[in-house]
C-alpha cells in the first residue's frame, strides 16, 4: 500500500470516528502534539478535541470530504480538501462548508494527524 493510500484510509477512519464519536479511534489517529484550528478561529489540543467529541460538544452528524489532494514531503503529508459537514456545536446546529488542510507526520512507522486548519468558504455575494 502506498503512503497516499495509508493517508486516505486514515482520513476515512477519522471521518467515520468523528461521526460516530469514536474517541478511541481518534486517539489512535491523532498525534499527541495536535493543534486543531477551527474555522471560527478557536483551537483545540488533542485532549480538548477528544473531550469535545466525547462530551458531545462537537456532535458531527455528517462529514463529507470532496476534492482531496495529498502532497507528500518525506515523512510529512499535506491533505487538502473541501469539507461539508452537519454538526451540532455546543447545542447549536451548523452547516460547515470549509476548505481544510490536514497535516500528518510519520513517526515510528505510523502516520499521525498533527495539525488541522479549517476555513469557511464565503457565500457568494448577491
Per 3-state DSSP, the chain is made up of helix, strand and coil in percentages (nearest 5) of 25, 55, 20
pLDDT in tens, 5-45: 999 999 999 999 999 999 999 999 999 999 999 998 999 99
What percentage of the chain exceeds 70 in pLDDT? Answer: 100
CB atoms within 10 A of CB 72: 14
Query: 82 CB contacts (<8 Å, ≥6 apart)?
Result: 65, 66, 67, 97, 98, 99, 100, 121
Query: 1 CB contacts (<8 Å, ≥6 apart)?
Result: 9
pLDDT in tens, 79-126: 999 999 999 999 999 999 999 999 999 999 999 999 999 999 987 777
Question: Under a CB-based contact definition with an 8 Å cutoff, are residues 58 and 85 in contact?
Answer: no
Q: How are beta strands 92-107 and 110-120 bridged, if at all?
A: antiparallel
How far is Cα 74 from Cα 93, in angstroms, rounded to an integer? 39
Domains of the chain: 3-120 (3.10.450.50)
How far is Cα 72 from Cα 105, in angstroms, rounded to an integer? 10
How far is Cα 119 from Cα 3, in angstroms, rounded to an integer? 26
User: What is the value of pTM for the model shown?
Assistant: 0.93
Amino acid at each position: 500500500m502506498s503512503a497516499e493510500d495509508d493517508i486516505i484510509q486514515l482520513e476515512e477512519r477519522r471521518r467515520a470516528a468523528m461521526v460516530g464519536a469514536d474517541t478511541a479511534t481518534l486517539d489512535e489517529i491523532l498525534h499527541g502534539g495536535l493543534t486543531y484550528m477551527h474555522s471560527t478561529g478557536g483551537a483545540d489540543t488533542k485532549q480538548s478535541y477528544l473531550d469535545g467529541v466525547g462530551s458531545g460538544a462537537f456532535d458531527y452528524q455528517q462529514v463529507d470530504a470532496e476534492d482531496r489532494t495529498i502532497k507528500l514531503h518525506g515523512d510529512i503529508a499535506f491533505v487538502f480538501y473541501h469539507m461539508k459537514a452537519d454538526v451540532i456545536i455546543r447545542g447549536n446546529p451548523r452547516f460547515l462548508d470549509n476548505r481544510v488542510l490536514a497535516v500528518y507526520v510519520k513517526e515510528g512507522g505510523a502516520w499521525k494527524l498533527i495539525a488541522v486548519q479549517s476555513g469557511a468558504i464565503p457565500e457568494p455575494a448577491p
